[in-house]
C-alpha cells in the first residue's frame, strides 16, 4: 500500500469508530463466530455520515484505477450506497449512471427487477462488505442477464477472514473467493489490517485495549 491509500484507510477507520458504526465487544457473526468487533454500515444513518462515507468510496475508487462505466447497488444496502457514491463521483468530476435491483419483480409500470439507468458496459458493484459472495453472485447474474459485464466490487471493509462457506480445504476469505473464483477485482476502503494498525497506535487506552482481542481473532480466523 502507498502512504496515501494507507492514510485514507486510517481516516476511514477513525471515522467509522467515531460514528459508532465500528464497535467493539462480543458479537456473533453470520458464520456463528464470536467476533470482538462489529461493522454495521446501516448506522451511516444521516446525511452527514452518508456523505462522508460516499467520499471515502469515491476516493478509493478513483485511486484504484478500476475502469468502470456505471454503478450497481444490490438491494437493500447497496441501493443507498450506489446513489450516494454516484453523487460524490459526479461532484469530483466523474459523472456515471447507476442502477439497482428490487427484491421482487414489479408487474406494472416499467416492470422488471432493475431500476435506474440501463445496465450496460463495465458495471461496478457497490456494497458494504462481502460476507460469503452470495450477493455478488446474484448481482453478477443480473448484470449478465442485462447484457453487461461486471468489472469489480467496491466495499467499505474487508474483514480478511476465512469464509466458513468455502470449507476448511479452501481457506479463502470471501473477498479472495470473489477475486479468484469469480474473477472480479475488489476495492476496499479499509481492511482488518488497517483496523489493527489504528488500534495499535491509538492514544486512548480504551480503544488500544481492543488490539489484543482483535489480533487473536485474526490469528484464529484470518487469511
For the record, the C-alpha cell of 12 comes out as 476511514
Quick one: pLDDT at residue 104? Answer: 72
Residues of the chain falling short of pLDDT 70: 1-5, 105-112, 164-170
CB burial readout 54-84, b (16+ within 10 A) else e: bbbbbbbbeebebebbbbbbbbebbbbbbbb
CB 197 within 8 A of CB 10: yes
Mean pLDDT of the chain: 91
Quick one: pLDDT at residue 1? Answer: 40
The residue annotated as part of the active site, out of 28, 106, 170, 216, is 106
Judged on CB neighbours under 10 Å (0-12, 13-18, 19+), 189 is: buried
Gap between the Cα atoms of 196 and 201, Å rounded: 9
CATH of domain 3-221: 3.40.50.2020
Judged on CB neighbours under 10 Å (0-12, 13-18, 19+), 133 is: buried
- Largest interatomic CA distance in the chain: 57
Quick one: pLDDT at residue 60? Answer: 97
- Give the pLDDT confidence of 121-156 residue by residue, as tens digits: 999 999 999 987 788 999 999 999 999 999 999 999
Torsion 38-40-46-51 (CA) sign: positive
Quick one: pLDDT at residue 3? Answer: 42
Quick one: pLDDT at residue 5? Answer: 45
pTM for the full predicted model: 0.91
Active-site annotation holds for 106: yes
Active-site annotation holds for 202: no
Gap between the Cα atoms of 39 and 126, Å rounded: 16
Judged on CB neighbours under 10 Å (0-12, 13-18, 19+), 96 is: middle
149 sits in the region (left: phi over 0; alpha: psi -120 to 50; else beta) called beta
The residue annotated as part of the active site, out of 28, 49, 108, 118, is 108
Reduced to 3 states (helix: H, G, I; strand: E, B; else coil), residue 64 is helix
Amino acid at each position: 500500500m502507498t502512504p496515501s491509500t494507507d492514510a485514507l484507510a486510517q481516516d476511514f477507520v477513525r471515522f467509522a469508530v467515531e460514528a459508532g458504526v465500528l464497535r467493539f465487544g462480543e458479537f456473533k457473526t453470520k458464520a456463528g463466530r464470536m467476533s470482538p468487533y462489529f461493522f454495521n454500515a446501516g448506522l451511516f444513518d444521516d446525511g452527514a455520515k452518508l456523505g462522508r462515507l460516499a467520499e471515502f468510496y469515491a476516493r478509493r475508487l478513483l485511486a484504484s484505477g478500476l475502469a468502470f462505466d456505471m454503478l450497481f447497488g444490490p438491494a437493500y444496502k447497496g441501493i443507498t450506497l450506489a446513489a450516494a457514491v454516484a453523487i460524490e463521483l459526479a461532484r469530483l468530476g466523474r459523472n456515471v449512471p447507476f442502477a439497482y435491483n428490487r427484491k421482487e419483480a414489479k408487474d406494472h409500470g416499467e416492470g422488471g427487477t432493475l431500476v435506474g439507468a440501463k445496465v450496460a458496459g463495465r458495471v461496478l458493484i457497490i456494497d458494504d462488505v462481502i460476507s460469503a459472495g452470495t450477493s455478488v453472485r446474484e448481482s453478477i447474474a443480473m448484470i449478465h442477464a442485462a447484457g453487461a459485464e461486471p468489472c469489480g466490487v467496491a466495499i467499505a471493509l474487508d474483514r480478511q477472514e476465512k469464509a466458513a462457506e468455502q470449507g476448511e480445504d479452501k481457506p479463502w476469505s470471501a473477498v479472495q473467493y470473489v477475486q479468484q473464483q469469480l474473477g472480479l477485482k475488489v476495492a476496499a476502503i479499509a481492511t482488518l489490517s488497517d483496523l489493527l494498525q489504528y488500534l495499535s497506535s491509538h492514544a486512548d487506552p480504551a480503544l488500544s485495549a481492543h488490539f489484543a482481542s482483535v489480533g487473536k481473532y485474526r490469528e484464529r480466523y484470518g487469511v
